[in-house]
Amino acid sequence: MLAALTLLLTLPALALAADFAVVRGGRLNLRQYPSSSSQSLGKYDSGSWVDVQGQGASGWYAVRTMDGKTGYMAGNYLTFAQSGSIGTVAYANGGYVNLRRGPSLDYAVVTRVTSGTTISILDASYEWNYVSATVNGATYTGYMHDSLIIKSTTTATVSTRNGGKVNVRRGPSSAYGSIGSLKSGTRVTVLLKGNGWYQITGGGLTGFMSAGYLSNMGTTGGGSGTVTTRTAYVNNPRSTQVLYLRETPSQRARALGQYKNGTQVKVVSYGATWCEVYVGTRHGYMMTRYLSFNNHYVTPTPEILYVTPAPTPQIVYVTPTPTPLVQYITPKPAVPGAPESGTTITLAAAYGSDSNTINVYYDQGMTSVRATYTGGKQATLLKYDTNVCMILVDGVVAYVSTWNVNY
């Protein structure tokens, strides 16, 4: 209690009026004092609502969170509702746009405004717009070229199942009192969006309404009443990756779908970190750096695979083998005195040999030994020749030198 009282006593008197902001860009620390080195009292996700109690030093704001804690948050991570005409700084090379002292490039630069920053358009005369922008917690005014501003106002329709009325409250919670109600079908302007609640104005009321009672979200530009969107394409670093569509602008938020490279999306609200998009009829948020805003999706250059082509088969002309002439050869006359086929013979060492072993062969040329026998082995003669005889030995056909055959 004492800490909360001390906090409030340090705030400027002009800042004590009730105001609300939404955390953006990731988890944000609630600090005990307005310094990044001060003790953290808690961390709050992107989209969290805070009740702004006042502005401290160096771009810090004194806030009260929805769970009742008080402390300081860095202003460059808070988004405030914008009154009047609203615009968003378009994407530019370098990620920022110069805010100038006058309506020309000849004027000095007041500050640089990051692409995706929401700005208030104070005067939209001619090609240069006089605008108000918040940078690092400080508010600047100056001139920005019309081509660098996406002018838009987000609208929605109050919607109930039974066609009844919906309460408009003093803050983004049902704990805040009602300041009135709006009928189902009432068209309202959305000033600020956060988790579960939107700050709206319409039907003579400005306050907060539960997001569940708002539908048909759209972005109208310049009072024309037409939907203003930008086309983008999913552009992951690798073709095998997918990009998640999130329920809120946070990587911790529930994924509503995942999309491959080349998927077309409609961007209704551009931010430096997150874009509010529609994929078909599905609404959510995608990270800006994984979207391509070119006129068309550029397919990443694939790896060049050098494939060796199949060789062209050579046509080989083969000369057909001529049909051999039938030659009638007079059979060789039988060796005089040779034994007849079927005669039992005895294998014996050749005359004058010092060895009593006899080799028999697989082939008639006797190049491959089939078996070796001791002299005296009997076999059956199949064919006799003066040099080589065909025999049947141990049930197999073999060849043996005629010098080793006795009959």
Residue 123, domain member (yes or no): yes
Q: Which residue has the tokens 């992951």?
A: 236
Stretch among 19-23, 171-175, 226-230, 342-346 having the lowest mean pLDDT: 226-230
Q: In what order do the strands lie in the sheet with 255-259?
A: 255-259, 243-246, 282-287, 274-279, 264-269, 230-234, 291-292
pLDDT tens per residue across span 316-328: 565 666 655 444 4
pLDDT tens per residue across span 256-285: 999 999 898 887 666 667 887 888 768 788
What CATH number did the domain enclosing 391 receive? 2.30.30.40
pLDDT for residue 168: 96
Taking Cα atoms as reference points, which of 143, 114, 115, 148 lies closest to residue 129? Answer: 143
Q: Predicted confidence band at 129 (pLDDT cuts at 50, 70, 90)?
A: confident
pLDDT for residue 96: 78
Q: Predicted confidence band at 335 (pLDDT cuts at 50, 70, 90)?
A: low
Written as six digits, the tokens of 125 are: 């005369």
Residue 338, domain member (yes or no): no
Residue 330, domain member (yes or no): no
pLDDT for residue 333: 45
Which of 172, 193, 220 is at the close of a domain? 220
Residue 323 makes CB contacts below 8 A (sequence gap 6+) with none
Same domain flag for 89 and 143: yes
CA 10/CA 19 separation, integer angstroms:
17
Whole-angstrom CA distances from 234 to 169, 283, 289, 291, 394 are 38, 15, 10, 5, 83
Q: Which residue has the tokens 């939404």?
A: 22
Same domain flag for 254 and 278: yes
Domain extent at residue 392? 344-406
Percent with pLDDT over 90 in the chain: 21
pLDDT tens per residue across span 36-69: 999 999 999 888 999 999 877 677 889 999 999 9
- The predicted model gives 92-119 an average pLDDT of 81
Taking Cα atoms as reference points, which of 159, 280, 276 lies closest to residue 216? Answer: 159
Taking Cα atoms as reference points, which of 168, 194, 240 lies closest to residue 28? Answer: 194
- CB of 131 closer than 8 Å to CB of 119: yes
Residue 301, domain member (yes or no): no
pLDDT for residue 6: 44
CA 18/CA 52 separation, integer angstroms:
7
CA 114/CA 92 separation, integer angstroms:
9
Taking Cα atoms as reference points, which of 45, 52, 397, 98 lies closest to residue 254? Answer: 45
User: Is the per-residue pLDDT at 354 higher than 60?
Assistant: yes
Same domain flag for 164 and 215: yes
Taking Cα atoms as reference points, which of 246, 248, 264, 241 lies closest to residue 256? Answer: 246
Same domain flag for 100 and 110: yes
Same domain flag for 19 and 61: yes
- CB of 205 closer than 8 Å to CB of 182: yes
Residue 306, domain member (yes or no): no
Q: What is the pTM of this model?
A: 0.43
Residue 135, domain member (yes or no): yes
Same domain flag for 142 and 180: no
Max avg pLDDT among 9-23, 222-236, 389-403: 389-403
CA 157/CA 189 separation, integer angstroms:
9
Same domain flag for 353 and 364: yes
Q: What amino acid occupies position 47?
A: G
Which of 44, 79, 114 is at the close of a domain? 79
Same domain flag for 208 and 159: yes
CA 348/CA 358 separation, integer angstroms:
7
CA 379/CA 360 separation, integer angstroms:
11
Which of 292, 310, 327 is at the close of a domain? 292
Same domain flag for 208 and 189: yes
Residue 332, domain member (yes or no): no
Taking Cα atoms as reference points, which of 20, 26, 21 lies closest to residue 285? Answer: 26
CA 283/CA 8 separation, integer angstroms:
40
What's the number of domains the chain is made of? Answer: 5
Positive or negative torsion for Cα 24, 27, 29, 35: negative
Residue 334, domain member (yes or no): no
Q: Predicted confidence band at 92 (pLDDT cuts at 50, 70, 90)?
A: low
Q: In what order do the strands lie in the sheet with 344-347?
A: 369-374, 357-361, 396-401, 388-393, 378-383, 344-347, 405-406
